[in-house]
């Protein structure tokens, strides 16, 4: 099957589009030619600008020069030319301004610049084809109107130019004052027709003669020009442009849809019948976008609009605005956050404390024979960092092993030694301040750094130990694992993360899936249901608290992920950002595509879920963490218990960004961060964030429950969507056996064979055995046992006793499994 076709519309117009760098083949001849021609147009635009502007400034000073003939010019003239663009400029300006169109000739300037931009870089600020028609009309019309003014107000001749003067003079002689009304009426007619007009139509009209003769017309042209082995897309134009399509190989019917607008169904039918069987001939109507109720367009069924169609839609309705459904949405304001009187806090680390600590550090190290060249302190909100440069010959490991001794001699909590400060030649010793400083949420959310951040999912958690506001992009992390013993600030941390996203994102661009097995922690956010929350269609509550529902929701997110990937593939995009941009530029057919909001899945207690549902939650979490970043699903998973059976290898491997509040032991710290230190933290939001190889200490800002309530009320009381963002219904087989229904052995659970071997090996037909060994939820294990019963491997339910295992040996079992 042929891949590409000649685009017949381009006999009239080159089908340009924004060209990404990857689409561009630098060595391509046409690319170079286009670039040269584009810059040539810029040059002409500049020449015209200089010529016209200086003509206004110097007036008719060059009159005698421009009247010279070619021979005189070559022979040379003694009179100096005043025009900034020389004799050529003077002649051009004279021609346009004096002889032809007058001041309306200025309209040519943007036309040259925009055409140059389009030709050289395929960028279109305004559709050039539209502009050409407008310039053509307004330059003449403007000249006529100016011509009248020249007559009536005795303005200089150059105001209307020769054309304006001549035509208005003749018209006035012919019909008197009516002429001015005629010209104004013409302007009105153009305005009405042009702004109702779809510029694609004239192109097709010119194609029509070719179509009526299908054999020798466009259809034949289409078929003849299939090029099997060439990825390029030939344009039948005198400029003979060749450019790479920026979309995946387009089906023939899609191409035709580009060529033929829907208001020519007859032509399309003819094409379909006579030449191309594949063409789908039924046009249908769809809305360009929900918010554009007036903007109903007929467009062919194709996943993507052509560049011309898209430009047209943008010219008519503007870019797609995802926020248009909630036009009055007001972002939460800073005054919802408490202002703490910072001065009243005994925050400052005193000079005495600093001096005392410095002396103790030097002294302790000296006791172990370690000399110090230099020591410097940086005061943070919770800890002070002492950076030391040891004398030559001291091994770093000797200092790092002294953490406990330093802690003892400083009589301070939270002593942490950083082997080598990243990017510096020093060793860091963090010591907790006697009086710690609380970091209010208002100080971080209201900070310039956060307010001005342009990240996709900006989060601010608090301050670094050098008192800088810490702002990061969750989309780049791309998932975050959080741990911390109870009461150390994990819930406050989660609230901070959610609050910062809520302050920066519009509900149209971000949705949260909140999983809260503890049932109370995230309930505050319930009020955001119709703004920021996503859930399954049949959920009574948008915040998920029930384990069974969690499994279904995770599977549904996996399904959403797969669906998003399919859409990205059709749209030829690599990630959500490119996809949404294309959608905003109206390149994607809204019948098949949607604007995709980012989805942040927050799980407040993973331990609970892992213990009740095991692999049923682990698998989808790992799958989402591995694959979901490109399509805008990001995970934030928190747990109190950072033990290996909760944070399993699979989960850990897929969460490169990990955050730890104080944990109870060094082992816990290692489990979450792959390094010690989290056990040395001082609590109340003191935390370590590990991203890749770097571990940084942060003080989490404090957002109080009433503040979160106020924010949620503020948003919840505004007009919202009719429902929460609905996730797709998960397939029942993925739902971990919520509904046993009729048991069909043709549709066995993925763990069926494993479960069968397990019960036969142990000769024990118990659900809890399967649950324990395979780490499955109760429901799924129950369904497995039922399936084993139907397969004749275990006996029927016998009350409190385990079921009898009917298959006595593993060889017998393998035989049964083979025959199933």
Ligand X SMILES: Nc1ncnc2c1ncn2[C@@H]1O[C@H](COP(=O)(O)OP(=O)(O)OP(=O)(O)O)[C@@H](O)[C@H]1O
What are the residues binding ligand X (CB under 6 A)? 438, 484, 486-492, 640, 684-685, 700, 702
Nearer to ligand X, 306 or 488 (CB): 488
Q: Which is nearer to ligand X, 487 or 792 (CB)?
A: 487
Q: What does the DSSP 8-state code read for residue 288?
A: S
> 443 vs 807, which CB is nearer to ligand X?
443
Residue 491 marked ligand-binding: yes
Beta carbon nearer to ligand X, 460 or 640: 640
- Taking CB positions, which residue lies at the least distance from ligand X? 685
How distant, in Å, are the alpha carbons of 62, 141, 162, 756 from that of 804?
Answer: 111, 96, 107, 13
CB-CB contact of 465 with 383 (8 Å): yes
- 489 marked as binding residue: yes
Closest distance between ligand X and the C-beta of residue 681, in Å?
12
| Minimum gap (Å) between residue 796 Cβ and ligand X | 44
Burial-class residue 46 by CB neighbours within 10 Å (0-12, 13-18, 19+).
middle
Helix (H, G, I), strand (E, B) or coil at 487: coil
**Shortest distance in whole angstroms from residue 608 CB to ligand X:** 11
SS3 458: strand
470 SS3 class:
strand
Minimum Å gap between C-beta 482 and ligand X is: 9
Question: How many Å apart are CA 745 and CA 741, to the nearest integer?
Answer: 12
**Minimum distance, C-beta of residue 669 to ligand X, in the bound complex (Å):** 15
CB of 685 to ligand X, least distance (A): 2
Is residue 737 a known part of a binding site?
no
**C-beta atoms surrounding 719 within 10 Å:** 11
Residue 307 marked in a binding site: no
d(CA 676, CA 694): 13
- Please, which residue, 467 or 486, has the CB nearer to ligand X? 486
- Give 615-648 as a DSSP string: HHHHHHHHHHHHHGGGGTEEEEEEES---TTTS-
CB nearer to ligand X: give 165 or 450: 450
Q: Is 21 annotated as a binding residue?
A: no
Minimum CB distance to ligand X, residue 455 (Å): 22
DSSP codes joined into one string, 538-561: T-SSSSB--HHHHHHHHHHHHHHH
In the bound state with ligand X, the residue whose beta carbon lies nearer, of 367 and 466, is 466
Q: Measured from the CB of residue 483, what is the shortest distance to ligand X in angstroms? A: 10
Whichever of 422 and 487 has its CB closer to ligand X, that residue is 487
- The helix (run of H) or strand (run of E) holding residue 806 is none
527 annotated to bind ligand: no
Residue number, 513 or 663, with CB nearest to ligand X: 663
Q: Which residue shows structure tokens 């816990």?
A: 668
Q: Which segments of 640-706 are extended strands (E)?
A: 657-660, 686-691, 694-700
Query: Helices marked H in 94-177 — which ranges?
Result: 108-121, 128-153, 161-175
H/E element, 462: strand 458-464
Could you tell me the smallest distance in angstroms from the CB atom of residue 449 to ligand X?
18
How far apart CA 205 and CA 283 sit, in angstroms, is 18
Cα–Cα distances in angstroms (integers) from residue 451 to residues 134, 473, 500, 703, in the given order = 42, 13, 10, 17
Dihedral angle over CA of 29, 30, 32, 33, nearest 10: 120
Q: What are the two backbone dihedrals, phi and then psi, of residue 273, each rounded to the nearest 5 degrees?
A: -70, -45
Instruction: Return the number of other C-beta atoms located less than 10 Å from residue 460's C-beta.
Output: 26
Closest approach of ligand X to the CB of residue 484, in Å:
5
In 3D, which of 302, 325, 322 has the Cα closest to residue 587? 302
Minimum CB separation of residue 525 from ligand X in Å reads 15
Residue 153 burial by Cβ neighbours in a 10 Å radius (0-12, 13-18, 19+): exposed
485: annotated binding-site residue? yes
Q: How far is the CB of 340 from ligand X (least distance, A)?
A: 11
* Token pair belonging to 537: 């269609």
Say whether 486 counts as a known binding-site residue. yes
CA angle 319, 325, 328 (to 5 degrees): 105
Nearer to ligand X, 45 or 381 (CB): 381
Strand partners, 602: 514, 636
| Nearer of residues 388 and 684 to ligand X, judged by Cβ | 684
CA atoms within 13 A on the CB side of 585: 21
H-helix segments, 154-228: 161-175, 178-196, 200-212, 218-224
Q: Which is nearer to ligand X, 513 or 684 (CB)?
A: 684
Which residues does the annotation place in the binding site?
Answer: 484-491
Q: Summarize the annotated binding site for ATP as residue ranges.
A: 484-491
């Amino acid at each position: 099957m042929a891949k590409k076709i000649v685009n017949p519309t381009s006999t009239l117009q080159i089908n340009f589009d924004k060209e990404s760098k990857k689409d561009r083949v630098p060595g391509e001849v046409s690319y170079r030619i286009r670039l040269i021609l584009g810059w040539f147009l810029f040059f002409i635009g500049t020449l015209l600008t200089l010529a016209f502007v200086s003509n206004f400034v110097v007036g008719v000073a060059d009159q005698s020069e421009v009247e010279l003939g070619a021979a005189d010019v070559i022979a040379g003239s003694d009179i100096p030319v005043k025009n900034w663009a020389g004799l050529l400029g003077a002649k051009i300006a004279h021609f346009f301004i004096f002889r032809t169109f007058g001041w309306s000739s200025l309209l040519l300037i943007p036309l040259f610049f925009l055409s140059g931009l389009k030709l050289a870089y395929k960028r279109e600020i305004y559709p050039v084809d539209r502009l050409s028609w407008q310039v053509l009309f307004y330059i003449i019309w403007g000249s006529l109107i100016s011509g009248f003014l020249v007559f009536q107000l005795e303005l200089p001749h150059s105001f209307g130019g020769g054309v304006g003067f001549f035509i208005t003079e003749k018209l006035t002689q012919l019909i008197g004052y009516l002429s001015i009304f005629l010209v104004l009426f013409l302007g009105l007619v153009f305005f009405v027709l042009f702004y109702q007009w779809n510029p694609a139509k004239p192109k097709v009209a010119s194609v029509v003669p070719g179509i009526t003769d299908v054999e020798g017309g466009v259809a034949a042209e289409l078929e003849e020009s299939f090029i099997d082995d060439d990825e390029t897309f030939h344009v039948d134009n005198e400029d003979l442009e060749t450019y790479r399509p920026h979309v995946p190989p387009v089906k023939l019917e899609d191409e035709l849809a580009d060529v033929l607008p829907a208001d020519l169904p007859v032509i399309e039918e003819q094409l379909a019948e006579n030449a191309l069987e594949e063409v789908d001939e039924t046009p249908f109507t769809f809305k360009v976008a929900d918010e554009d109720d007036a903007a109903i367009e007929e467009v062919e069924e194709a996943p993507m609009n052509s560049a011309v169609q898209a430009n047209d839609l943008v010219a008519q309705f503007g870019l797609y605005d995802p926020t248009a459904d909630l036009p009055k949405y007001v972002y939460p304001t800073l005054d919802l956050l408490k202002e703490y009187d910072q001065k009243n806090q005994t925050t400052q680390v005193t000079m005495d404390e600093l001096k005392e600590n410095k002396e103790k550090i030097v002294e302790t190290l000296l006791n172990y024979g370690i000399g110090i060249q230099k020591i410097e302190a940086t005061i943070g909100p919770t800890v002070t960092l002492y950076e030391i440069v040891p004398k030559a010959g001291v091994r770093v490991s000797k200092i790092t092993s002294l953490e406990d001794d330093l802690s003892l001699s400083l009589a301070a909590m939270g002593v942490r030694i950083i082997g080598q400060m990243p990017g510096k030649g020093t060793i860091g010793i963090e010591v907790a301040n006697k009086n710690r400083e609380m970091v209010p949420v208002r100080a971080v959310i209201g900070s310039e750094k956060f307010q001005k951040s342009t990240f996709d999912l900006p989060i601010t958690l608090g301050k670094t130990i050098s008192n800088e506001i810490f702002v990061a992009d969750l989309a780049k992390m791309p998932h975050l694992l959080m741990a911390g013993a109870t009461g150390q600030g994990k819930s406050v941390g989660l609230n901070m993360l959610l609050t910062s996203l809520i302050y920066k994102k519009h509900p149209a661009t971000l949705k949260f899936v909140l999983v809260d097995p503890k049932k109370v922690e995230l309930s505050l956010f319930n009020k955001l249901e119709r703004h920021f929350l996503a859930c399954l269609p049949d959920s009574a509550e948008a915040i998920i608290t029930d384990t069974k529902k969690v499994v279904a929701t995770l599977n549904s997110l996996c399904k959403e992920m797969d669906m998003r990937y399919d859409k990205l593939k059709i749209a030829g995009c690599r990630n959500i950002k490119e996809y949404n941009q294309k959608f905003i530029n109206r390149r994607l057919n809204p019948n098949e595509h949607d604007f995709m909001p980012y989805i942040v899945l927050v799980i407040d207690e993973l331990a609970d879920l892992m213990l009740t549902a095991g692999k049923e939650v682990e698998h989808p979490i790992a799958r989402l963490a591995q694959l979901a970043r490109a399509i805008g699903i990001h995970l934030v998973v928190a747990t109190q218990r950072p033990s290996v059976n909760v944070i399993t290898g699979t989960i850990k491997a897929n969460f490169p960004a990990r955050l730890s509040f104080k944990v109870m032991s060094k082992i816990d710290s290692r489990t979450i961060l792959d390094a010690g230190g989290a056990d040395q933290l001082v609590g109340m939001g003191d935390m370590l964030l590990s991203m890749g190889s770097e571990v940084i200490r942060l003080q989490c800002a404090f957002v109080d429950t009433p503040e979160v309530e106020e924010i949620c009320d503020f948003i919840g009381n505004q007009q919202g969507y009719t429902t929460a963002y609905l996730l797709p219904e998960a397939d029942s087989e993925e739902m971990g056996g919520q509904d046993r229904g009729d048991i069909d052995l043709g549709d066995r659970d993925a763990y069926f064979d494993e479960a069968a071997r397990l019960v036969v090996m142990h000769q024990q037909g118990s659900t809890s055995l399967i649950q324990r060994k395979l780490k499955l939820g109760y429901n799924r294990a129950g369904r497995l046992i039922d399936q084993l019963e139907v397969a004749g491997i275990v006996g029927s339910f016998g009350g409190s006793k385990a079921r009898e295992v009917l298959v006595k040996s593993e060889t017998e079992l393998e035989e049964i499994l083979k025959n199933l």
